[in-house]
Structure 1
Amino acid sequence: MTDKKLIGVDLGGTTIKFAILTTKGEIQQKWSIETNILSDGQLIIPDIIDSINHHIDMYEMNKDQFVGIGLGSPGSIHFAEGTIKNAFNLNWQKEVFPVRDIEKGTGIPVTIENDANVAALGERWMGAGDNADDVVFVTLGTGVGGGIIANGNILHGAGGAAGEIGHVTVDPNGFMCTCGKRGCLETIASATGIVHVARDRASEYAGSSQLKAMLDDGQDISAKDVFDLAKEDDDLAVIVVNYVCESLGFALANIANSLNPKYVIIGGGVSAAGKFLTDKVDAAMQKNEFSTIKASTQLKLATLGNEAGVIGAASLIKVD
């Protein structure tokens, strides 16, 4: 089996990433194509098929070398049928059949999973998770996503919504979330949430602050700007970052208290703030964890970056 290969596919709203990997998770080739969402997204699956077939030919490989294709996708996954629906950023309003269609088009078996879950699997297998059986992965990007691995398996839940860490309520009277309820973690700790918090706090702040001056001047700011200014002890930025990290640590502590994972891993664009972020979040977590959790659960930064999705997708393939 050592000469066998895996294909991982990470399907996003703007880009589709591909990789050919060994069965040990080592990436040997990778490439990407633009996601064409025109015509109700009907071109996406044919594009995936064509790209895989083209690259297998280009690398002078044959299909018998491949154990399978793992695909991570947004939307609602129907595992028994191998279908996806309600992937709105792909323009998939109706059900699509990637397992049936990609298998037919490539001649290689296909397994699918939610995109946040495959990122969690990738970090668990080849990244910060050290292949531990119990891992919680949270991504801080435009939104807040997550995946929960317990006893080596992704948790899906009765409705397929397990791991929706972004919708853990941290402030019942907080900002309105796109999901329809108030105070979700996503409204505070996502990149957009951090900017929202900054604008909200700036409206009540009367001191001296570069962040305040930028906002009052009508400048567009980013979560990176807020963290960079906080690192320079800008008073308003420190207030914002402390609130964000306290809220994130509170949510993650309660998840850790419920699941007792070996690792809680933070990834996504906001995680680029590095140790400055994790030190504050870890302090907030420990303040809200009971003793056994403090001793056995560790907070870590993700290490795989954009490769987590393709690696995690490939890990869906069962290798004998």
Structure 2
Amino acid sequence: MSTDLNYKGEIVIVDDDPANLGLLFEVLKAQQYVVRVANSGRLALTVINSSPPDLILLDVNMPNMNGYELCERIKADPNTSEIPVIFISASNEAIDKVKAFRVGGIDYVAKPFQMEEVLARVESQLKIARLSHQLQMQMLRYQLDPHFLFNALNSVRTLIAVDSETAEEMIMQLADYLRYLLVSRNKLEVSVSEELEAAQNYLAIEQVRFKGKLIVKTNVDSRVENYLIPASLLQPLLENAIKYGMKSNPKPLEITISIELKNDKLCLKISNTGKWMAPRENASNSTGLGVGLENIRQRLRQRYPARHNFTISNDEDSINVLIEIPISEN
């Protein structure tokens, strides 16, 4: 779901009746919605999976695949399961409404419909979906920050007794990072330059902590500075790279942050020396390697359903995490 303030929403209409399809298309288009159409269930799956919309208006009675079957398939796919579906049907029977809700529908409009009612229901469901999306993104983000803060404060506490000057330096870096969290706390997205500065503050804290055992390199295309990315996206990846890279790499750990434009995508890559350590199946939420990565997967799936790439690769002496997302400019 786009965060552009001028963006009202993208809607897919699925109906085998050309008259209904045309009417809904014209009215929604006039209200500044982005609209796509499909006249069958099979075509609808292709349209929806190619670029998931913000909302689906779905007819019930269609040949080959009816609306109930189509809705079940949409809800079974993790990339499309969160899309709200409003059923539009000639039947006003309670049993049909109950079935629509059971397969995952969020609302039901009986034909013949009044366009004012359809528009009101569309606007209401899009608003609910947008608020729900924002809440989920914030919750996923806040799962990470307390974990980092605990680790950082623990390191400062240890340093105070043995090296007060280094502890003071670390506190200053931590203050800069916490300032970023405070300023961006209500933002789901920040510019690449803001996120990179926060990541560098985090790495500076860890460099103080590891004293010469951590080498950081950056390779960032200057053209990407104003593009938007999810807030606090890099830090959990860097935390994993440090925590497990230190365990699997006997030499000083080297981390490289690369950000570039490639094929109309924003590509973010975190590479570190060392060997891949697979997540433990029963790792606890506070220390498991898989927690941070799964959090990132969920956030990307929420923000860019079916429009992103998140891959982890490893060779003999390095691990690479690559994220590719659509370009969004500040």
- Under a length normalisation based on structure 2, what TM-score does the superposition of the two structures give? 0.28
Normalized per residue, the structure richer in helix is 2
Q: Which protein has greater RCO, CA pairs closer than 8 Å, 6+ apart?
A: 1
- Under a length normalisation based on structure 1, what TM-score does the superposition of the two structures give? 0.28
Radius of gyration: which is bigger? 2
